[in-house]
Structure 1
Amino acid sequence: MAAAQGSSDVSSSAKVDFLKLQNGSDIRGVAVGGVEGEPVNLTEPVTEAIASAFAAWLLNKKKADGWRLTLGITTAGHDVLQFGLASTPAMFNSTLTEDEINHLPVDGAIMITASHLPYNRNGLKFFTSAGGLNKADIKDILEHASRIYEDSSHGSTQELEQASKGEVSNVDYMSIYASDLVKAVRKSAGNKGRGPGPRRRGGAVIGDAPARQGYKLDKVLKPLGAITTGSQFLEPDGMFPNHIPNPEDKTAMKAITQAVADNKADLGIIFDTDVDRSAAVDSSGRELNRNRLIALMSAIVLEEHPGTTIVTDSVTSDGLTTFIENKLGGKHHRFKRGYKNVIDEAIRLNTIGEESHLAMETSGHGALKENHWLDDGAYLMVKLLNKLAAARILNPNVGSKVLTDLVEGLEEASVTVEIRLKIDQNHADLKGGSFRDYGEAVLKHLENSISKDEHLCKAPKNYEGVRVSGYGGWFLLRLSLHDPVLPLNIEAPSKDDAIKLGLAVLTAVSEFPALDITALNKFLQQ
């Protein structure tokens, strides 16, 4: 397994705190040296131990004896299918695909990715046919991996290869997965042959993600008839020489918007590196990401499932709520940050009788009930392509305006800002407590302060932090999921109104000296 190539210079006997590798429902660590203050902790022996622990966990869950989940697993006697460069959604789908010739479906899949994080980072995601693993599962695996690591002599790679009992096979699964995506588009458009694709002038332009998404160009869009001239930044390069491959990044969105304009394209599509997040740009250059993308997906899903509940993260706008509930006739359930939190909440609602078919974050993560609740950026874009393809059956000259029209009426704030207030964990004001306890104290004080201000009103339903409406806008102060940070989101109709909301926060949090309010002061003084 190549999760940490280039890190073999690190001692295999070094003490490792495995639980510190947990990042919610994923594993993240430093795989390559070269950054001061960031020692390598995702070494080859560590990765092998984690793989072995996943094999044991899966065997215990499934009680299977003929499955494929290289080293950490094959040494346990299990077979491995290597897919090479692949996407996160594809790895999940490999647990569902029926293909006896290629030994599919697999019982478990591991994705090696750190998404858009810096070059020295890497990570692991895990899947079974039930979807991605949750936080508790990851904790179990890491605790088991720690025991394996401590008990093992960790011989050389050559020795481990000689000891392995399982077989390793290479499978071009991305071709299989891409073919299934093409079939999904054609089926939705009512076209089972080659037929016209979802294009008009310049077709679809792939924008970014220099690692895994090039497959979509040759194996998905071209077979559908799209002209993909002008696509850019498709070569694998973990150094990200052009810009951060992040659908929320302004530079990334500017690049794909420019590509759409230069090539007179109908649609631009952009992913992060492992293709679980996405965004789009229409032919006029209008960005379809964050609240707009959620609004667009909500419109499509509510056409198919009238009245369904749309679950989102906590930083979505009031305008999105109005759009979903008043224009589309759905229900907006604003929950917490964290794509897994959003997905799990949608699943929970269905179990108690409240129908939900879409769970989305402003980050570009999105999951649909029809797609096994996997956060799948490629599948979201397929839904958009389906809409274009179906419209072309009725009007061959239609462009991406059919998508833009679906978000007509979405109210958007003139001022949108996110400010990160960092907690100094070494400050005396923490009095030996955790940053989480300190952050909760800040939120409680803010909540009490707001209750005394007649211009401000707490959100009646809120599941994370303190969300407040006032001055025609709103703000949300919450505690980061993993870091000693209190992110502050503000949306308002004008800069003056945004400043009034910011001042309300500043007045309350200024009493906490361990909280760095420099960024907030800078915003208020602009």
Structure 2
Amino acid sequence: MAALSAKTIKNAFLAQHHPRTRHGTRYHSGFCFCITRSMHSFQECRLSVADSSAKWLNTTTTPWTSFNKAVSCNAAQGGSDVSSSEKVDFLNLQNGSDIRGVAVAGVEGEPVNLTEPATEAIAAAFAAWLLNKKEADGLRRLRISVGHDSRISAHKLQNAVTHGITAAGHDILQFGLASTPAMFNSTLTEDERNHLPVDGAIMITASHLPYNRNGLKFFTSDGGLNKADIKDILERASEIYEESAHGKQREQEDASRGVVNSVDYMSIYASDLVQAVRKSAGGKEKPLEGLHIVVDAGNGAGGFFVDKVLKPLGAVTTGSQFLEPDGLFPNHIPNPEDKTAMNAITEAVLDNKADLGIIFDTDVDRSAAVDSSGHELNRNGLIALMAAIVLEEHPGTTVVTDSVTSDGLTVFIENKLGGKHHRFKRGYKNVIDEAIRQNSIGEESHLAMETSGHGALKENHWLDDGAYLMVKLLNKLAAARTLDSSIGSKVLTDLVEGLVEAAVTVEIRLKIDQNHADLKGGSFRDYGEAVLRHLENAIDKDPNLHKAPKNYEGV
């Protein structure tokens, strides 16, 4: 099969966009996915989406299904024709190193801007960007994986991504419900039987944002893409989208279209986590036997951790909650920083008299824990715990965090643990990149963490993986229980003894109107810097206020 260069990938994508109507829409076999939703209530919509999810998995199990055969479908899905009236501001979809937008209509004042045609164009643009990065010059087809969290718009965007990639002449692996860390891991896993590793990965998620939002994250074997990469991809996508809207298409032979395979990658990924815990316990098959651990997945993608990780390790998991994927998030926001979410897992631990509680965000790149007494291990507490574990393994190492960590954490890391605390800018990618930079200049760093629950370790390819963070805690428990089977989560709590936290912590986020008169025609940055100068002056005049030293953001 002829592969396509980055220069022709755009035209290959456009050639697939034949005019379609809502009825009698043509799609390639293995790709038609119809959802019948009752619109009487969101609850009924939710249940029907869940049922359709199972149906989708059953229709994509044929290995390397070709898209050459066409079938009919009455639901307009991915690959819909782009109307010239549907303008999309692609650059407005950028959210740092991610793409975020509104994917579901129904919320007043929030029009849909992450449409299926826009998503197709973005996927095709990622393939073109990836070809350039790999300097493949069209010599081979790419393999790209796609997964999603539990959001109700997940399947239609997965369809759109699939069409955008395959129309550009590249092959795609669909993982279905997956975690963000697993998607990155698929670029590293050596398993040719399952067509791994892939050249690039796409995760469809918007983390803990409301149900109507969604987004995309992109990975290569080097890690997540940066802001400049995302801007490049969105600029390419805008060009592809505009040319498609104006009918600049080129016919293409069916043989050059990409093909699709469905892979149960979460089982592969979870198996690696299980082996890591067993290794820490000297090869014992069930090192967590006798431990009672409850998990709160917040109806996101983290439910796998119970059946695929904890149970094989011997843990009792009764009392675990909200494991079913539900994109309306009916119980609480899946966010380890959210008070309601943390109260929910704390209550589950206490009500079930569990040894440990674990909570994940929607796509499992963030996490937190609760010990048997109900003490929360999140934010500064989780950073302190991870720092204690990492500094036992790598004495004196530098711990890179975001800028809003407490002074008590600095004292704990530097005075109690003997490490170095390097505060840097907010944003998990900023923190991770700074840790990588520190190593490049000879300053050893093995841990990069945000107070949000994003945590990355050098030993794990600098991947911010909420499940891997929890495995590090389980490793500690498993190793301790090989010496004394009565040991519970107190072994973790003891590690953060001496951490002094502020009695009250308040975070205030200010919305700044770009058109406000106080800006006086200046930029957002100019105004922000003026606010910081004002704050510095106020601090200088008040003896009770002190600036945090060695802080690389704000004051």
- What is the TM-score normalised by the length of structure 1? 0.84
Q: CA 1:207–1:160 in structure 2 vs 1: closer, same or farther (change >3 Å)?
A: farther
Partner SS, residue 302 of structure 2: coil
Query: Could you tell me how far apart the structure 2 residues matched to 1:212 and 1:445 are?
Result: 44
Partner SS, residue 457 of structure 1: coil
Query: Could you tell me how far apart the structure 1 residues matched to 2:436 and 2:360 are?
Result: 25
Write the deviation string for residues 204-234 of structure 1: whole angstroms up to 9, x where unpaired: 1111231211111111110000111011001
Shift of residue 188, structure 1, vs aligned partner:
1.5
Match of 1:68 among 139, 143, 147: 143
1:458 corresponds to 2:547? yes
Corresponding letter in the other structure for 1:444: R
Query: Could you tell me how far apart the structure 1 residues matched to 2:457 and 2:473 are?
Result: 13
Q: Percent identity?
A: 82
Query: Could you tell me how far apart the structure 1 residues matched to 2:288 and 2:501 are?
Result: 28
1:140 corresponds to 2:241? no
269-278 vs 454-463, greater mean Cα deviation: 454-463
The answer for the alignment partner of 1:212 in structure 2 is 301
Write the deviation string for residues 10-60 of structure 1: whole angstroms up to 9, x where unpaired: 964311111100000000001011111111111111001000010011111
Shift of residue 66, structure 1, vs aligned partner:
3.7
Alignment of 1:87-486 (within 5 A): 87-153=179-245, 165-191=257-283, 193-194=284-285, 196-201=286-291, 203-466=292-555
Q: CA 1:152–1:302 in structure 2 vs 1: closer, same or farther (change >3 Å)?
A: same
Query: Could you tell me how far apart the structure 2 residues matched to 1:357 and 1:6 are?
Result: 48
Query: Could you tell me how far apart the structure 2 residues matched to 1:251 and 1:280 are?
Result: 14
Query: Could you tell me how far apart the structure 2 residues matched to 1:7 and 1:359 are?
Result: 40
- Note if contact 1:7-1:40 (Cα within 8 Å) is conserved in structure 2: no
The answer for the alignment partner of 1:45 in structure 2 is 117
- Note if contact 1:26-1:123 (Cα within 8 Å) is conserved in structure 2: yes
- Note if contact 2:81-2:117 (Cα within 8 Å) is conserved in structure 1: no
- Note if contact 2:298-2:332 (Cα within 8 Å) is conserved in structure 1: no
Query: Could you tell me how far apart the structure 1 residues matched to 2:519 and 2:345 are?
Result: 45
Query: Could you tell me how far apart the structure 1 residues matched to 2:489 and 2:403 are?
Result: 29
Query: Could you tell me how far apart the structure 1 residues matched to 2:195 and 2:458 are?
Result: 26
Partner SS, residue 420 of structure 1: coil
Corresponding letter in the other structure for 1:55: A
Residues paired across the two proteins, number? 459
Query: Could you tell me how far apart the structure 1 residues matched to 2:462 and 2:393 are?
Result: 17
Q: CA 1:421–1:182 in structure 2 vs 1: closer, same or farther (change >3 Å)?
A: same
Corresponding letter in the other structure for 1:114: A
Query: Could you tell me how far apart the structure 2 residues matched to 1:230 and 1:162 are?
Result: 51
Query: Could you tell me how far apart the structure 1 residues matched to 2:76 and 2:481 are?
Result: 50
Shift of residue 238, structure 1, vs aligned partner:
1.1
Write the deviation string for residues 84-137 of structure 1: whole angstroms up to 9, x where unpaired: 000001000000001010000001000000111111100000000000011111
Shift of residue 451, structure 1, vs aligned partner:
2.7
Partner SS, residue 418 of structure 1: coil
The answer for the alignment partner of 2:55 in structure 1 is none
Match of 1:27 among 94, 99, 107: 99
- Note if contact 2:300-2:325 (Cα within 8 Å) is conserved in structure 1: yes
Shift of residue 339, structure 1, vs aligned partner:
0.5
Shift of residue 431, structure 1, vs aligned partner:
1.9
Corresponding letter in the other structure for 2:100: R
Shift of residue 343, structure 1, vs aligned partner:
0.4
- Note if contact 1:291-1:316 (Cα within 8 Å) is conserved in structure 2: yes
Query: Could you tell me how far apart the structure 2 residues matched to 1:413 and 1:21 are?
Result: 37
Partner SS, residue 426 of structure 1: coil
- Note if contact 1:260-1:283 (Cα within 8 Å) is conserved in structure 2: yes
Corresponding letter in the other structure for 1:120: N
- Give the number of the structure with larger relative contact order, counting CA–CA contacts within 8 Å between residues 6 or more apart: 2
Query: Could you tell me how far apart the structure 2 residues matched to 1:462 and 1:161 are?
Result: 57
Query: Could you tell me how far apart the structure 2 residues matched to 1:176 and 1:457 are?
Result: 50
Query: Could you tell me how far apart the structure 2 residues matched to 1:160 and 1:72 are?
Result: 14
Shift of residue 411, structure 1, vs aligned partner:
0.7
Query: Could you tell me how far apart the structure 2 residues matched to 1:160 and 1:303 are?
Result: 59
Corresponding letter in the other structure for 1:282: D
Q: CA 1:63–1:363 in structure 2 vs 1: closer, same or farther (change >3 Å)?
A: same
Query: Could you tell me how far apart the structure 2 residues matched to 1:384 and 1:459 are?
Result: 30
1:58 corresponds to 2:130? yes
- Note if contact 1:247-1:279 (Cα within 8 Å) is conserved in structure 2: yes
Corresponding letter in the other structure for 1:78: H
Write the deviation string for residues 438-495 of structure 1: whole angstroms up to 9, x where unpaired: 12111112223333444443333121111xxxxxxxxxxxxxxxxxxxxxxxxxxxxx
Q: CA 1:6–1:344 in structure 2 vs 1: closer, same or farther (change >3 Å)?
A: farther
Shift of residue 160, structure 1, vs aligned partner:
11
Corresponding letter in the other structure for 2:347: Q
Query: Could you tell me how far apart the structure 2 residues matched to 1:184 and 1:89 are?
Result: 16
The answer for the alignment partner of 1:480 in structure 2 is none
Query: Could you tell me how far apart the structure 2 residues matched to 1:164 and 1:278 are?
Result: 42
Q: CA RMSD in A?
A: 2.2
Corresponding letter in the other structure for 2:125: A
Corresponding letter in the other structure for 1:358: L
Shift of residue 420, structure 1, vs aligned partner:
2.4
- What is the TM-score normalised by the length of structure 2? 0.79
The answer for the alignment partner of 1:486 in structure 2 is none
Shift of residue 152, structure 1, vs aligned partner:
1.5
Q: CA 1:283–1:12 in structure 2 vs 1: closer, same or farther (change >3 Å)?
A: farther
- Note if contact 2:403-2:552 (Cα within 8 Å) is conserved in structure 1: yes
Shift of residue 190, structure 1, vs aligned partner:
1.2
Query: Could you tell me how far apart the structure 2 residues matched to 1:162 and 1:178 are?
Result: 37
Write the deviation string for residues 211-261 of structure 1: whole angstroms up to 9, x where unpaired: 211111111110000111011001111111001000000110111011111
Give the gaps of 5 or more residues in structure 1.
467-526
Shift of residue 412, structure 1, vs aligned partner:
1.2
Corresponding letter in the other structure for 1:26: D
Match of 2:175 among 67, 83, 88: 83
- Note if contact 2:332-2:340 (Cα within 8 Å) is conserved in structure 1: yes
Write the deviation string for residues 406-455 of structure 1: whole angstroms up to 9, x where unpaired: 00000111111112233233332222333332121111122233334444
Query: Which aligned segments of 4 or more residues in structure 1 are displaced greater than 6 angstroms?
Result: 4-11, 159-164
Query: Could you tell me how far apart the structure 2 residues matched to 1:319 and 1:233 are?
Result: 34
